[in-house]
Amino acid sequence: MMLRIKRVPTVVSNYQKEEAEEDRVGGCGRNCLRSCCIPGSKLPLYAYKKLDKVACAKGLPQHESGEAPIAFLDSLVLGQWEDRVQRGLFRYDVTACETKVIPGRYGFVAQLNEGRHLKKRPTEFRVDKVLQPFDENKFNFTKVGQEEVLFQFEASEDGDIQFFPSAPIDAENSPSVVAINVSPIEYGHVLLIPRILDCLPQRIDRESFLLALHMAAEAGNPYFRLGYNSLGAFATINHLHFQAYFLAVPFPIEKAPTKKVTTLDGGVKISELVNYPVRGLVLEGGNTMEHLSYAVSDACICLQDNNIPYNVLIADCGNRIFLLPQCYAEKQALGEVSAELLDTQVNPAVWEISGHMVLKRKKDYEEASEENAWRLLAEVSLSEERFQEVTALIFEAIASADNGSKDLNEEQEAKPEATDEVKAINNSSHPAIVAGTQECLVLQ
């Protein structure tokens, strides 16, 4: 048996056509990111500084200088995004969509978005396979227009933040890029597409997840979060991507109490969400950013290898990561979801699970309550029994990987923590006063 659901796919690019209209191949002429258009093309390039372990161990990635100066990456995303607003590239003005915090303990956020799914026919999606091969014939991000791409994002060679307003696209190296989502669910909605030209399927690997974590840390804004949906957990495009946007209120999932389960050798603390409608794990801390990143990506790899759909939220500047295995699509395909919930057409992907509910019907928006949100999300969650099973699988996977990485980093870990602390505060003494440390080198 094959499980499928029908849903309206989200239009993330202006070049995303109905499958039927798709592919008038050749010559292109639309300035895309494929070999036809890349030669001679340029895009801004932001090269981030790999965080040293002190800064990270301190839990203070890069933004010691405080909340006041808008961090560089933050400004870059905002400025480029607003530029695309004024160039009219979005399908609607998301700031014209009504939104509110629903009264209640958790503060679920509701948005009425009637435009997001207009003019699209429902399409069938296979939901019982978390890993599917990349399909050249379906829409993928190499087909977006270059005007939809905001900048290239990569690690800096010499360890300093660098910005090149106009850098050639090096097809050989398959750049990672940040592009707009033309159907935004909040201001600044972008997609991070790791090594775009490699055409990776939607599947987490260590390197790509670390890239996403760097983006969160680099933006240094707790209200700029990244999210990931696996296939079977409401990803609609099978081309590796993370999403991100700005929403300057805490998400309910961030407020949920947690219960510590364990601390890994690398210092990563793992907790369980308690008193939240969706069961999930929270990973935080870690002696280095890599420790945290590898723990999460190993957990994700374990889930996808076991064919368990999941969502990931990267919150708090990359300091807290929520991992949420789910089973809604499966239930939906099996006809186990009530008509009442289905009627809302809410697809519980990472943002909805985190407490940001995008509603399509005015009625649902007006009647939105903590109780309704809770009822929907409760359907997304694994049962307690299944969750414990899945958690056990994850721990097994992480534990074996953890031992591996520990050996690699033995030298670093041997250092006494005290020294790190002293260094950290010494380091931060300048940025705290000199707002301009966030400045970066401009090379033309």
Partner 1 sequence: MESQLGLIEQSLNSSYSLWVREALDEIPDNFTITDPCICGHPIVFVSRGFLKMTGYSKNEVIGKNGRVFQGPKTCRRSVMEVREAVREERAIQLNLLNYRKDGRPFWMLFHMCPVFSKEDGRVINFIAVQVPLSRKARRSGSVFCRNGVILSGEGSMINDVVYGSCRKEVRSDSLLELGPVLALDSALDSDVTELEIEEPCEASDLDKIRAASAINRVLSVLTHYSESTGRLVCGKRCYLSALGLLSSSLTISLGRIKQSFVLTDPHLPDMPIVYASDAFLKLTGYSGQEVLGHNCRFLNGEDTDSSTLYQIEESIKMEQACTVRILNYRKDKSSFWNSLHISPVRNASGKIAYFVGVHMEESCNDQGGRGLSPEMRQLSTVGAVKIAVRSSSMGAGSSKS
Ligand X SMILES: Cc1cc2nc3c(=O)[nH]c(=O)nc-3n(C[C@H](O)[C@H](O)[C@H](O)COP(=O)(O)O)c2cc1C
Decide: is 64 part of the binding site for partner 1 (CB under 8 A).
yes
Q: What are phi and psi of 174, to 5 degrees?
A: 40, 80
Judged by CB under 8 A, the residue of 184, 188, 280, 355 near partner 1 is 188
Q: Segment near partner 1 (CB under 8 A), from 73-81, 138-146, 191-199, 398-406? A: 73-81
Residue 67 as a binder of ligand X (CB under 6 A): the answer is yes
List the single partner that 223 binds among partner 1, ligand X, none, CB under 5 to 8 Å by kind: partner 1
Under the criterion CB under 6 A, does residue 222 sit at the interface with ligand X?
A: yes
By beta-carbon proximity to partner 1, the closer residue of 340 and 439 is: 439
Supply the minimum distance, in Å, between the C-beta of residue 66 and partner 1: 3
CA nearest 368: which of 107, 80, 129, 41? Answer: 107
What is each CA distance from 273 to 255, 277, 278, 332, 341, in whole angstroms? 10, 9, 8, 24, 24
Say whether residue 336 binds partner 1 (CB under 8 A). Answer: no
By DSSP bridging, strand 162-168 and strand 242-246 are unpaired
194 binds ligand X, rule: CB under 6 A: no
**Residue 421 sits in the site that holds partner 1 (CB under 8 A):** yes
Please say whether the beta carbons of 176 and 153 come within 8 A: yes
- Output the smallest distance, CB 229 to partner 1, in A: 23
Closer CB to ligand X, residue 246 or residue 387? Answer: 246
Query: How far is 152 from 169, CA to CA, in rounded Å?
Result: 8
Chain position carrying tokens 């707009």: 180
Return the one option of partner 1, ligand X, none that residue 346 interacts with (CB less than 5 to 8 A, by type): none
Instruction: Give the residue with the Cβ less far from ligand X, 209 or 223.
Output: 223
The site map against partner 1 for 106-145 (x = CB under 8 A) is -x-x------------------------------------
Residue 102 binds partner 1, judged by CB under 8 A: yes
**154 makes contact with partner 1 (CB under 8 A):** no
Q: By CB under 6 A, what part of segment 412-431 binds ligand X?
A: none
Pairing of strands 224-229, 177-180: unpaired
Using an 8 Å Cβ cutoff, are 223 and 209 in contact?
no
Interatomic CA distance for residues 337 and 345, integer angstroms: 12
d(CA 395, CA 161): 35
How many residues bind partner 1 (CB under 8 A)? The answer is: 81
Tell me which of 117, 214, 241, 356 is the catalytic residue: 241
155, 342, 408, 432: which one binds partner 1 (CB under 8 A): 432
Side-chain half-sphere CA neighbours of 279 within 13 A:
16
Could you tell which of ligand X, partner 1, none binds residue 18, using a CB distance below 5 to 8 A set by kind? none
* Binding of ligand X by 69 (CB under 6 A): no
**Residues 228, 312: contact at Cβ < 8 Å?**
yes
CA Rg value for the chain: 21
The full DSSP string for 9-62 is PP--STT---TTT----SS--S--SSTTT-TT-EEEEEEEPPPPHHHHHTT--S
Closer Cβ to partner 1, 222 or 309, answer by number = 222
316 binds partner 1 (CB under 8 A): yes
Report the residue number, 379 or 402, with the smaller CB distance to partner 1.
Answer: 402
In the annotation, is 241 catalytic?
yes
User: Which amino acid would we find at residue 45?
Assistant: L
Angle made by CA atoms 434, 436, 441, in degrees to the nearest 5: 140
C-beta closer to ligand X: residue 53 or 63: 63
Give which of 204, 241, 342, 174 is closest to 16, Cα–Cα: 241
Please give the Cα distance from 139 to 298 (Å, whole number). 28
Is 187 one of the binding residues for partner 1 (CB under 8 A)? yes
Cβ neighbors of 9 (< 8 A, separation 6 or more) are: 120, 123, 125, 236
96 contributes a contact to partner 1 by CB under 8 A:
yes
The residues of the shown chain that bind ligand X, judged by CB under 6 A, are 67, 222
Which residues carry out catalysis?
241
